[in-house]
Amino acid sequence: MSSTALLLDGKALANSIQTDLTQQVQALQAPKGRPPGLAVLMVGDNPASAAYVRNKERACANVGIASFGQHFPATATQAELTQAIAALNVDDQVDGILVQLPLPEHLDAVALLNQIDPDKDADGLHPVNLGRLVRGEPGLRSCTPAGVMRLLEAYEVNPIGQHAVVIGRSILVGKPQALMLLEADATVTIAHSRTPDLGAIARMADILVVAVGRPELITADMVKPGAIVIDVGMNRITDASGKSRLVGDVNFASAQSVAKMITPVPGGVGPMTVAMLLQNTVLSYHAR
């Protein structure tokens, strides 16, 4: 076994997916008479959210997707946002709608997500789309776990018969990720913050997906030698000298010496999430 794991380069794969989507959009645009459209709704001035939204809009522009972004003040009401979503649901220029999370505390995010037309649900988080995933029916899929599956496929990691352990149970990543791995014929264990002896469970994984939002929680001794390690975490930490950097939920330096393949942070899963968002938008553009 090599002393250093192979890096799963999400950035390079995301770029190639974007190139492919650009060609699809160019081919479809003339017969449809318009480009695909994505509307990102952002509320308030969370700097991380603002950076994500800029990133998404830049990626849209690269592929030829029109952006119908709307930025609301932090004081926006539930009624104003509900009304904005209702208008986008019936707007023929818009194929995908996304509410940038987290929202200010006075807003009910779940109620707003439920207002989105499931066929324009670019994030794949509507209960109808999650239901389609549970039933194994076609539908828009949650972007981050779908991106993880594409990354595994690109590096010829076949989940059939493998033991996959997903650490984290959020509706954004953990639960849909477990369902997608199950659909791909892996044997799936879900662990989380209340799991006793997390290390023992993690060490059973042929494919280990970590999505808990705890910086460098997973260390080398929690990784089975030769495992595939997918780090969904994005945590900004500040060192003693006051310099900040992004780290994942996996201690990369130590895990890299044990794993067979590992995703870097940044440059692993993050770019894949954006690529899948664009793909969902183009899929609903195709379908409409």
The answer to whether 11 is a known catalytic residue is no
Q: Which residue has the tokens 């030698």?
A: 225
Rounded CA Rg of the chain:
19
- Which amino acid makes up residue 13? L
Q: Are 53 and 277 in contact (CB under 8 A)?
A: no
Query: What is the number of other CB atoms lying within 10 angstroms of the CB of residue 44?
Result: 17
131/126 Cα distance (integer angstroms): 9
Residue 241 annotated as binding site: no
Residue 233 annotated as binding site: no
The answer to whether 120 is a known catalytic residue is no
Of 18, 100, 115, 279, which one is the catalytic site residue? 100
Query: What is the number of other CB atoms lying within 10 angstroms of the CB of residue 7?
Result: 16
Residue 20: partners with Cβ closer than 8 Å, 6 or more residues away:
none
Q: DSSP E strands: which ranges in 53-195?
A: 66-67, 70-72, 96-99, 163-167, 187-191
Q: Are 29 and 286 in contact (CB under 8 A)?
A: no
Mapped to the 3 state alphabet, what secondary structure does 200-239 carry?
HHHCCCCEEEECCCCCCCECHHHCCCCCEEEECCCEEEEC
The answer to whether 29 is a known catalytic residue is no
Residue 169 annotated as binding site: yes
259, β-bridge pairs? none
Of 18, 95, 121, 123, which one is the catalytic site residue? 123
Catalytic residues, which ones?
A: 56, 100, 123
Q: Where is the binding site for NADP(+), in residues?
A: 168-170
